[in-house]
Amino acid sequence: MREDLYEFYGYRVACTVPAEAEAVVGRLFGAPLRDGDASRAAWTPQTVHLSVELTDTDSDPVPPPYFPEHWDTSDVVVLDTASSRAEVTPARWTVRVTLARSDLGNPVVWGRWLVEKAFLVLTLRSGRHYGLHAGALSVDGRAALVTADSGVGKSTFTAWGLFKGADFAGEDAMMRHIDDPEGRFWGYPRCAYLDPALIKGRPELADAPAAPVPAREKSRVEWPARYESRLLPAVRPRALLVLTREHETVRPLDIDAVLGLCRDDFAAGKADPAVLERVEGDLRELLSGMSLLQFGLSTDLDSNFARLAAVLHG
């Protein structure tokens, strides 16, 4: 097995994979980093070592808990789908995936349930990283973080922006590396989790790989090549939007209100008060340079995008 270097959520990832699973890694990460790219995340001292092993099993995959028991304290965090599993060792920055051959064609297993979740665990367990339940868009070079309670429409809002010409940096989780001096948030732009009806209604997604997420009314869809040039690994946001359906206006928020709304996100896994203070201080500093807005959604998706563009360029 050979080892290649990738970027994922802003981390350098040294990946070892058998030939039979190379297609999985390609769909997850895209092309390996070139020699000149390897230093672009020099501010991140950690290289995550990800290994993939294949196994045979007769078990069908089942949805794992969102977080396994003791995920925030265990030396090794196990993500188990009954058929495949990932063992995450935060102190060593390692992820070991044991993938069933029967799951090679199931991106929900190796994507959503294992690798994407493993990197979220690494981020939340780290004292120098944190995450936000958010997506991000950039309209003509000006970016916004977009957050909302589950079910409000954050995924649809960010995906519609991509359809309308915006750049897209993710729709579910954005990671912050405190030592990144550019104040960026890093996402995973290669896929999105969308209402199957929305996917079906977009002709350009007709041939895009899509898989339903069990127990969720969403499908994991991988963006086709036509969007490649508008998929961003990271953004430096000038605004943070908190989506709501309680009204259809745009209203200012203060920093303390936004910190309160995001606290469950950035405080997850931060048991050490000194670490939490450092994380909150970093986020507060970044928010002080942004427009902080409660953004009321209408049922007209085009109108929502037009108002986003106006907010960013007004």
294: CATH:
3.40.50
pLDDT of the residue at 314 = 77
Please tell me whether residues 283 and 162 are part of one structural domain. Answer: yes
From 107, 126, 145, the end of a domain falls on: 126
Residue 92's Cβ-side half-sphere holds a number of Cα atoms within 13 Å equal to: 12
Residue 41 reports pLDDT greater than 80: no
pLDDT in tens, 244-258: 999 999 999 999 999
Please tell me whether residues 253 and 217 are part of one structural domain. Answer: yes
Please tell me whether residues 27 and 109 are part of one structural domain. Answer: yes
Please tell me whether residues 187 and 283 are part of one structural domain. Answer: yes
pLDDT in tens, 142-166: 999 999 998 999 999 999 999 999 9
pLDDT of the residue at 287 = 98
pLDDT of the residue at 2 = 76
Q: Strand, helix or coil at 176?
A: strand
Residue 11 reports pLDDT greater than 80: yes
Please tell me whether residues 105 and 136 are part of one structural domain. Answer: no
pLDDT of the residue at 40 = 58
pLDDT in tens, 86-133: 999 999 999 999 999 999 999 999 999 999 999 999 999 999 999 999
Residue 1 reports pLDDT greater than 80: no
Please tell me whether residues 13 and 83 are part of one structural domain. Answer: yes
- Count of other CB atoms within 10 angstroms of residue 18: 14
Please tell me whether residues 182 and 74 are part of one structural domain. Answer: no
Query: What range does the domain containing 25 cover?
Result: 2-126
Backbone angles phi, psi at 307, to 5 degrees: -70, -35
From 85, 102, 126, the end of a domain falls on: 126
Residue 38 reports pLDDT greater than 60: no
Greatest Cα pair distance, the chain, in angstroms, is 57
Please tell me whether residues 235 and 173 are part of one structural domain. Answer: yes
Please tell me whether residues 30 and 85 are part of one structural domain. Answer: yes
pLDDT of the residue at 6 = 93
What burial class does residue 72 get, using C-beta atoms within 10 Å of its C-beta: 0-12 exposed, 13-18 middle, 19+ buried?
A: middle
Q: Which amino acid is at 205?
A: L
pLDDT in tens, 204-233: 999 999 999 998 899 999 999 999 999 999
Please tell me whether residues 219 and 114 are part of one structural domain. Answer: no
From 73, 91, 126, the end of a domain falls on: 126
For the chain, how many structural domains are there in total? 2
Please tell me whether residues 106 and 138 are part of one structural domain. Answer: no
User: Sign of torsion, CA 227 229 234 238?
Assistant: negative
Please tell me whether residues 144 and 104 are part of one structural domain. Answer: no
